[in-house]
Chains A and B, each alone.
Chain A
Amino acid sequence: DTAVSQTPKYLVTQMGNDKSIKCEQNLGHDTMYWYKQDSKKFLKIMFSYNNKELIINETVPNRFSPKSPDKAHLNLHINSLELGDSAVYFCASSPTRATNEKLFFGSGTQLSVL
């Protein structure tokens, strides 16, 4: 059983399109995250939700909108895609929002904007 699963694994799309990435965790965790890993492998936090409540919202263009329908799911919708959005997007979860908690990552969604 996959603990943190993301779909799709690969996403190739044209500039200007709108796309969504879905994430589900079956670990019973309270907290979920979206991270972006760029071509230089820097992994940066974008958003975090704790029990469906947004708790971290980094400096991310408002074209990116996360949504958490329940604590097991966290989706990411991206409007008007740009070339610079090409990256690997990782979903993660942790038991609580505490700073020393282990993060469990999904396998990533490779987004390519043409």
Chain B
Amino acid sequence: QKEVEQDPGPLSVPEGAIVSLNCTYSNSAFQYFMWYRQYSRKGPELLMYTYSSGNKEDGRFTAQVDKSSKYISLFIRDSQPSDSATYLCAPSLSGGYNKLIFGAGTRLAVHP
């Protein structure tokens, strides 16, 4: 079993839709949960992160972590064509060195 599992998609939605992107992970010691966004032919960039369980909201984006079920979600409200990208979840441990374990990423296409 991979440490981080993510449905690769592609996920195609109309503009304005609510998008739900999900990850599962196996290591219960993960404490930080990052979401990176990667546009085609670019490096990933940090979108948002949460610590431990709970929700975090930033504009149209909401990150949710359920540590009891080892499930991570990213919700995008009022999706825009500019949101078309690959979204990578990346949990990491607390303490030690910064060693993110990336999921394979979910490719999202938002069409006008």
Chain A neighbourhood of B93, CB < 8 A: 99
Contact indicator A103/B98 (Cβ below 8 Å): yes
Inter-chain CA distance A68–B56, complex, in Å, is 37
Chain B neighbourhood of A44, CB < 8 A: 102
Interface secondary structure of B, over-half rule: loop
Task: List B residues 55-112 near A (Cβ within 8 Å).
Answer: 86, 88, 92-100, 102, 104-105
Contact indicator A99/B99 (Cβ below 8 Å): yes
Inter-chain CA distance A94–B98, complex, in Å, is 9
Inter-chain CA distance A104–B99, complex, in Å, is 14
Q: Does chain B have a CB within 8 A of A114? A: no
* Contact size range, A: 20 to 34
Chain A neighbourhood of B99, CB < 8 A: 45, 48, 56, 99
Q: Does chain B have a CB within 8 A of A111? A: no
Q: Does chain B have a CB within 8 A of A31? A: yes
Give, as a whole number of angstroms, the nearest-CB distance from A26 to chain B.
Answer: 15
Partner of B97, one of A56, A90, A103, A104: A56
Partner of A43, one of B8, B42, B49, B102: B102
Inter-chain CA distance A97–B104, complex, in Å, is 23
Contact indicator A105/B98 (Cβ below 8 Å): no
Inter-chain CA distance A65–B44, complex, in Å, is 24
Question: Could you list which residues of chain B lie within 8 angstroms of chain A, going by C-beta atoms?
Answer: 8, 31-32, 36, 41-46, 49, 51, 86, 88, 92-100, 102, 104-105
Q: List 8 A-B contacts (CB under 8 A).
A: A4-B43, A33-B98, A43-B44, A92-B43, A99-B32, A99-B94, A100-B92, A108-B42
